Amino acid sequence: MPYLSPEPGEPAAPGSRIVVEVGDILMRRGLTDHAPAAQVHVIEAAKALEDFRLGHGTALERAEVLLDRAIATFQERTGEHDEVAWQAVAVYTVELWATRYSVARPTAFDPAPPPPSRLTPAHPLRLETVSREAHDLLLGAGRSLERQARGRDSTDVVRAQHGMHEAARLLHAQLDGLSMPLWVLICRFCAEIQAENLRILKAPAPGTTA
């Protein structure tokens, strides 16, 4: 018997802890509500990656361990276990979070993690490689969220949510081991990380005024 699309209030997929919700994406229970410990692992992995980029070679191993913890926690807390998809998501969110630590310096000459690290730019399983369009949509959604927080344009929240949904649709088409409702939450998480990155970038330096 074919699997039917779940209705609102039902699990997003067999075994999933994600419940289908309708309405504004930003009003739904977020990925960090489902898996707060996974977010902590993402943040700590991003800090370790930054330490590696600053010349502490042993920090890369710590980043990889924390990456594995983030993946395992996301899997456990969402009830959706596709390893390939979560590898791509975890790497993307760690690298996206890490960009806020390098705001004050040029990064062109930062050392890149060597293969076989999953954090190497040459690794084939990267979200921006899976769908460059989805990557661009997520960055655009982050820009819209950052503008919306400053009250610049009332339509920014609409643009942000549209970008999140379209990015989720594109990624689900390529990595359908995670449900579409979960991909929406993942894309919201990524857009919110990028919005905070932009807020930090635009914040006045200490000792100056805006």
Is 1's pLDDT higher than 50? no
pLDDT per position as a tens digit, 88-97: 999 999 999 9
pLDDT per position as a tens digit, 38-93: 999 999 999 999 999 999 999 999 999 999 999 999 999 999 999 999 999 999 99
- The pLDDT, as a whole number, for residue 2 is 46
Mean pLDDT on 10-23: 95
pTM of the model: 0.93
Handedness of CA 84, 87, 127, 170 (dihedral sign): positive
d(CA 111, CA 191): 26
Q: What DSSP string runs through 135-187?
A: HHHHHHHHHHHHHHHTTS-TTHHHHHHHHHHHHHHHHHHH-TTS-HHHHHHHH
- The pLDDT, as a whole number, for residue 153 is 75
d(CA 185, CA 206): 34
- The pLDDT, as a whole number, for residue 108 is 76
- The pLDDT, as a whole number, for residue 205 is 58
| CB atoms inside a 10 Å sphere around CB 10 | 13
Q: What angle do CA 50, 32, 173 make, to 5 degrees?
A: 90
- The pLDDT, as a whole number, for residue 109 is 82
Closest CA to 88 of 113, 70, 114, 108: 70
d(CA 184, CA 202): 27
pLDDT per position as a tens digit, 117-165: 999 988 888 999 999 999 999 999 999 999 998 886 779 999 999 999 9
- The pLDDT, as a whole number, for residue 210 is 45
Cis peptide leading into residue 116 (ω within 30°): yes
